[in-house]
Structure 1
Amino acid sequence: MTYDIAAPEPAGMVASLSSLGYSLPAAVADLVDNSVSAGARNIDVTFTWAGRDSWIAVVDDGRGMSAEELVTAMTVAARGPKTKRSSTDLGRFGVGLKSASFSQARQLSVAAATAGEWHVRTWDLDVVENSGEWRLLHGTDQATTAVLDRLRGGADHGTVVLWRRLNGYHADDVSEDDERIQTQFYAEVARTESHLGMVFARFLSGSRRRNLQVSGATVEPWDPFMSNHPSVQRLPAEELPLGRVAVRVEAFVLPSAHRLTSGEYSRAGGPRGWLDQQGFYVYRRNRLILAGDWLGYRRMRREEKYNLARIAVDIPAEADAEWGVDVRKSSVVPPVGLRPHLERIARQARAKAADVLRHRGQVAARTHGDPLAYAWHVRRPDGKINCKINRSHPLVQAALRAGGNSAADVRALIRLLEETVPVAALRVMHETDTSDDPEPFGGPGRADEAATEVAQRIYESLVSGGRSPAAARERLRTMPPFDQLQGFWSR
């Protein structure tokens, strides 16, 4: 057959790679992937503020690269997803270094050495776009060379990746003394540190742990499952078959707040906070791909009562295609055959997590044998939430006492009720997949005696406040819950 060679136009390809949606911490994580794959024991991420000349670098002491290997590493998609990789290689499509870098900077320089001989190659996106060719430059400009020399020091092996002309910071109106932009730049340092601590947690602990630093601060691993805490509940781990490999799934239910110190509770919330950290954690070769997500399952929304549910999923790299691991290594789509099993495990974990918080909520709502302690009673009899004011409370008793209910007592009671609305108990007892919302006075229909008595008091209050009887009844007709009830006001 005849054919045409339809090679991608460089400027368009660069624009596409630059628009994959990397955050800066995620882009740095892609560079750290390469350092880990290269067997580095020490990895330094450096942020340096210099106005529009600010730069970011990742330096490692891994095995480095020869000149030929460096050119391959700098070539877009030089190795496809089916390329045979070592067991420690965290790569996927062969575009991570380039796509991550192009999303953050206009100039990418890489210096690498294996046995004392350093090689440097540079992608300058201005050169690529102006020439219309994939011109991988030998060496780099004088200013960049000075930075590379400083970063590599006297090392005879390793790799230095340097981003210059950073997107968002290389504009003409950015000056070195711009405190607002500088604060924004260094805010990325903290975000990057916490993100790397989450993504590479398994590489930052154990006997062969790496030393990873961000601007001189050691990155501490963040364990989303609090694996070493004695109060963590572990559900039985399962090995789910997927072709010739197996996917390991283990669910954890974390301790409730009363079993944690304030420091433990704050740290367990993770970089994004408790609500956004619940759900599945998908790992590929011990590298976190997805952190805290319910994988799009129906009726599995993020809700606070499921905050304690976290599920570890370990997928072998051989299953990348089945899991739909994306270029950024930040999202997955579970294989069809595993979805029912993952949903079953998720529902079990969510139920147990809700039970833990429900127990705490019920304890908070109970009187503990003392009818005077709580202003509210919250129950869920017959599948319906029931929320009542505790009529045994001394302030309620004072307000109800004939001839003794002073305005001060009523004000104090109102303020107490405002300050103690049982939100926590209602939150953990409410079931999203059931219709358990309380219905005032038994629901729509004919008003019972209790509803009529309350309406009569409101009616008399409106009349004594200056409204005509007709206007008072009209107001009652539009006032919840009497707008859903029939009584003297609806005639």
Structure 2
Amino acid sequence: METPIAYDIAAPEPAGMVASLSSLGYSLPAAVADLVDNSISVEAKNIDVEFTWAGAESWIAVVDDGWGMTAEELVTAMTVAARGPATARTSTDLGRFGVGLKSASFSQARQLTVTTAKDGEWHTRTWDLDVVEGSGQWRLLHGADDDTMDVLARLRGASDHGTIVLWRRLNGYRTDSASLDDEGAQKQFYAEATRTESHLGMVFARFLTGTRRRNLQVRGTLVEPWDPFMSNHPSVQRLPSEELPLNGSFVKVEAFVLPSAQRLTPEEYDQAAGPEGWLDQQGFYVYRRNRMILAGDWLGQRGMRREEKYNLARIAIDIPTETDAEWGVDVRKSSVVPPVSLRSHLNRHARNARATAAEVLKRRGQIAARTHGDPLAYAWLVRRPDDRVVCKINRSHPLVQAALRPGGNSAADVRALLLLLEETIPVTALRVMHETDSSDDPEPFGGPGVADGAAVEVAQRIFESLVSGGRSPASARDRLRTMSPFDQLQGFWSR
């Protein structure tokens, strides 16, 4: 018979646990998304996110018409980590650790109140972090103060079911300095509401379309879904999808290459850029039960960093909920670590998508370069002979010809030409033609070495200009030796 092992009960101290949960790094939009997760899990058809500015008394609430909870279920929902990740869940449950409601709320507010009804009877519980820290106990309060109950009554209306989550004493706004008349703080508050609306449209896009779509609103405005893959656009390239086996389940991977800017309207182009912009939205998009976990990341794949030539590459990954542990889904549902067994496959899909995206932009760059060959339309010509990017001023352009005309050019012509050249630098053509991983940088006059005739002619004109401006010949040559690109070339100035 084995001797029983002695043990101590080492329960976490409430104030320390509150501080830990409050510092998990949630942004406000991500924290609100965690509350919307709960509303979707209980099959709410209508979800309203309310932001109300009232200075230090400002509040945020998420109101849904889902199943609601009994008093016992509410206490369980309000208990920190009442359900572990191994707990059996319904097919609609988007949670994992059982701390989302609490950790998201504690990161944003000192008071969390939840009121809910399943069969017409409303039950209310409150976490007041000042009470928890002051008492040293997890005192889940019944009901709430009068002001909070008034807010809940207005939000509840005549409904007999559903759930309301209310945040009061918001972090950053609960000081006396956050007065009702502080226009700067009010503007920031409602800017966060706009950011939240964009974030929810990205994270829950799959729930906002189709026959079973939810009506999700922020401040009374319907949230528009954002499809990072432009799935319905006729010019999108869909690369072959694949289902990768993982512990008895399958992970679906599908890559998309978006159309170049020339195939999109300005509105489509701006919309496709997404909440974070083109560069930050390229890469993998990870979904779990149709809820986006990660948006725009190369998942640490070796040698894969964000570059503009890969902006059009976006890859969807759908992971089964039962493989959460293998993917390292974190508490905030905002990061993942791919399983080792899948990394080479994901790398293959990423390389294919990146190569295709780069080729689309390269073709557009070649078209742009040919277009720039119109002698009357553009002041610059961009070409790529022998794998080197070459950018030249178009000598057939009328303004260039006027400036070069012997005895006929004027200061006005030269000023107009300089302004044209400054305003029409072919940034787009250079960007899409330039391969950042090859040595194709254009080098003046063919690169370092002995100056050719063209370089000598330009240097001679500069030399004469310096001399006519009052410098001695020796001083003019000294100045030329320090000017780019003549500091890398050998000529009369270097002797």
**Which TM-score band applies after superposition, normalised by the shorter structure?**
over 0.9
Matching residue's letter, 2:460: Q
The reply on whether 1:364 has 2:378 as its aligned counterpart is no
User: Distance between the aligned counterparts of 1:56 and 1:370, measured in 2?
Assistant: 58
User: Which of 329, 336, 339 is the aligned partner of 1:332?
Assistant: 336
2:216 matched residue in structure 1: 212
1:45 matched residue in structure 2: 49
The reply on whether 1:148 has 2:152 as its aligned counterpart is yes
TM superposition shift of 1:265: 2.3
TM superposition shift of 1:34: 0.4
User: Distance between the aligned counterparts of 1:49 and 1:416, measured in 2?
Assistant: 49
1:393 matched residue in structure 2: 397
1:456 matched residue in structure 2: 460
The reply on whether 1:203 has 2:207 as its aligned counterpart is yes
SS at match of 2:474: helix
The reply on whether 1:8 has 2:12 as its aligned counterpart is yes
- The answer on whether the counterparts of 1:379 and 1:386 sit within 8 Å (CA) in structure 2 is yes
- The answer on whether the counterparts of 1:365 and 1:376 sit within 8 Å (CA) in structure 2 is no
SS at match of 1:121: strand
Aligned identity (percent) is 81
TM superposition shift of 1:474: 1.6
User: Distance between the aligned counterparts of 2:372 and 2:274, measured in 1?
Assistant: 34
2:447 matched residue in structure 1: 443
SS at match of 1:290: strand
Superposed CA deviations along residues 426-468 of structure 1, whole A, max 9, x for unmatched, are 1011112112111122222222232222222211211111112
Matching residue's letter, 1:271: P
User: Distance between the aligned counterparts of 1:76 and 1:378, measured in 2?
Assistant: 62
User: Distance between the aligned counterparts of 2:111 and 2:257, measured in 1?
Assistant: 45
1:300 matched residue in structure 2: 304
Superposed CA deviations along residues 229-275 of structure 1, whole A, max 9, x for unmatched, are 11211111111222222211111122223322332222222222223
1:131 matched residue in structure 2: 135
SS at match of 2:392: strand
User: Distance between the aligned counterparts of 2:306 and 2:83, measured in 1?
Assistant: 38
User: Distance between the aligned counterparts of 1:387 and 1:347, measured in 2?
Assistant: 30
Matching residue's letter, 1:339: R
SS at match of 2:287: strand
- The answer on whether the counterparts of 1:358 and 1:428 sit within 8 Å (CA) in structure 2 is yes
User: Distance between the aligned counterparts of 1:61 and 1:330, measured in 2?
Assistant: 26
The reply on whether 1:283 has 2:287 as its aligned counterpart is yes
User: Distance between the aligned counterparts of 2:11 and 2:435, measured in 1?
Assistant: 55
- Runs of 4+ off more than 6 Å: none
2:116 matched residue in structure 1: 112
User: Which of 86, 89, 93 is the aligned partner of 2:93?
Assistant: 89
The reply on whether 1:58 has 2:62 as its aligned counterpart is yes
TM superposition shift of 1:66: 1.7
User: Distance between the aligned counterparts of 1:369 and 1:241, measured in 2?
Assistant: 52
User: Distance between the aligned counterparts of 2:84 and 2:75, measured in 1?
Assistant: 15
Aligned positions, number: 491
TM superposition shift of 1:178: 1.9
Query: Which is worse superposed, 445-454 or 94-103?
Result: 445-454
TM superposition shift of 1:224: 1.2
SS at match of 1:366: helix
SS at match of 1:6: coil
User: Distance between the aligned counterparts of 2:144 and 2:205, measured in 1?
Assistant: 35
Superposed CA deviations along residues 162-218 of structure 1, whole A, max 9, x for unmatched, are 111111111112222222211211112211111111111101111111111111111
RMSD value over aligned CA atoms?
Answer: 1.7
The reply on whether 1:473 has 2:473 as its aligned counterpart is no
1:274 matched residue in structure 2: 278
SS at match of 1:414: helix
User: Which of 410, 433, 444 is the aligned partner of 2:414?
Assistant: 410
User: Distance between the aligned counterparts of 1:340 and 1:370, measured in 2?
Assistant: 46
- The answer on whether the counterparts of 1:365 and 1:422 sit within 8 Å (CA) in structure 2 is no
User: Distance between the aligned counterparts of 1:102 and 1:316, measured in 2?
Assistant: 29
Superposed CA deviations along residues 346-392 of structure 1, whole A, max 9, x for unmatched, are 22222222332333332222247743332222122222111122222
SS at match of 2:277: coil
SS at match of 2:26: coil
User: Distance between the aligned counterparts of 1:421 and 1:482, measured in 2?
Assistant: 23
TM superposition shift of 1:113: 1.8
Distance 1:433 1:260, change over 3 A: same
Query: Which is worse superposed, 166-175 or 121-130?
Result: 166-175
Superposed CA deviations along residues 299-329 of structure 1, whole A, max 9, x for unmatched, are 4333333222221111111121221111111
User: Distance between the aligned counterparts of 1:112 and 1:24, measured in 2?
Assistant: 23
- The answer on whether the counterparts of 2:372 and 2:378 sit within 8 Å (CA) in structure 1 is no
Superposed CA deviations along residues 101-138 of structure 1, whole A, max 9, x for unmatched, are 00110000111222122221111000111111111112
SS at match of 1:31: helix
- The answer on whether the counterparts of 1:120 and 1:140 sit within 8 Å (CA) in structure 2 is yes
1:240 matched residue in structure 2: 244
2:435 matched residue in structure 1: 431
Unpaired stretches in structure 2, ≥5 consecutive residues: none
1:311 matched residue in structure 2: 315
The reply on whether 1:163 has 2:171 as its aligned counterpart is no
- The answer on whether the counterparts of 2:280 and 2:296 sit within 8 Å (CA) in structure 1 is yes
User: Distance between the aligned counterparts of 2:302 and 2:429, measured in 1?
Assistant: 25
User: Distance between the aligned counterparts of 1:2 and 1:474, measured in 2?
Assistant: 87
- The answer on whether the counterparts of 2:48 and 2:62 sit within 8 Å (CA) in structure 1 is yes
Matching residue's letter, 2:186: Q
SS at match of 2:56: coil
User: Which of 33, 36, 39 is the aligned partner of 1:32?
Assistant: 36
TM superposition shift of 1:409: 2.8
